[in-house]
Amino acid sequence: MNLVKIITAFVAACLITSCSALYYGFLPGSDYKILKTEKEIDFQGRSFNIEFRDSRGKRNIIDCSEYVLDRETELEGSPGLQFFRDSLTAMVQGSNGKIDPASPNKIVVELEGLSFNLIGRGYVTVHGFVQFKVASSFMNKTYCSDMTDHDEDAPLKSNSWATRKTASRLMVSGSMRKASENFLQSLQIAQMI
């Protein structure tokens, strides 16, 4: 009998918090889209040859923030680059674009910063940092975001309940979505010319 109650409670909790929604690019229990652009972007099936590079080196600050990046996080090294690559690739594909190594539309994306930080004592502000540079024959630009839980488009608000680890991960994801969407909008414009 207790097992039936536990299973029923688990299923109800999953339905209430939308457990399966994270797979589709949403945070459980919210409408925040992590891997989908806010504005309509449609590449109309165009293909892109995107080469990802990790250019973080010993960089401790990004252009759009005054705060020092924490270089001792789970995002250092290849896991961070893979997380960035997977997120940007999902956003391109979600905007009706294709990733094709044979495409003549070669784009080099250099990750220059990816981190998070909890700043303050007592009352903490969660920051998500990302910066990447894009180089191709049709565009050269740096995209940067320092998102906090005070930003209107953040996945968490200053009064949200979350563990430090969850809050940090969500804020980095939100910051990456924001910078990546700016890149995709520029890419769409460049492809229309």
Question: What is the pTM for the complete model shown?
Answer: 0.80
Reported as a single tens digit per residue, the pLDDT across 83-112 is: 999 999 999 999 999 999 999 999 999 999
pLDDT of residue 154: 72
Question: Tell me, what DSSP letter sits at residue 17?
Answer: H
Reported as a single tens digit per residue, the pLDDT across 11-64 is: 444 444 434 333 334 444 455 567 788 889 999 999 999 999 999 988 889 999
The pairing of strands 125-136 and 47-54 is: unpaired
pLDDT of residue 4: 46
* Residue 128 near residue 122, CB atoms below 8 Å: no
Among residues 179, 189, 149, the alpha carbon closest in space to that of 84 is found at 179
Average pLDDT over residues 60-83: 90
The number of beta carbons lying within 10 Å of the beta carbon of residue 17 is: 14
The pairing of strands 47-54 and 106-119 is: parallel
In whole angstroms, give the CA distance from residue 174 to residue 164. 15
* Residue 109 near residue 92, CB atoms below 8 Å: no
Reported as a single tens digit per residue, the pLDDT across 143-163 is: 999 988 777 877 777 776 777
Residue type, 29: G
CATH class of 37-192: alpha beta
pLDDT of residue 1: 52
57 Ramachandran zone, left/alpha/beta (phi>0; psi -120 to 50): left
User: Between 125 and 110, whose confidence is greater?
Assistant: 110
> Can you give the residue ranges of every domain in the chain?
1-31, 37-192
pLDDT of residue 24: 32
pLDDT of residue 183: 96
User: Between 76 and 26, whose confidence is greater?
Assistant: 76
In whole angstroms, give the CA distance from residue 38 to residue 129. 19
Question: Tell me, what DSSP letter sits at residue 112?
Answer: E
pLDDT of residue 35: 77
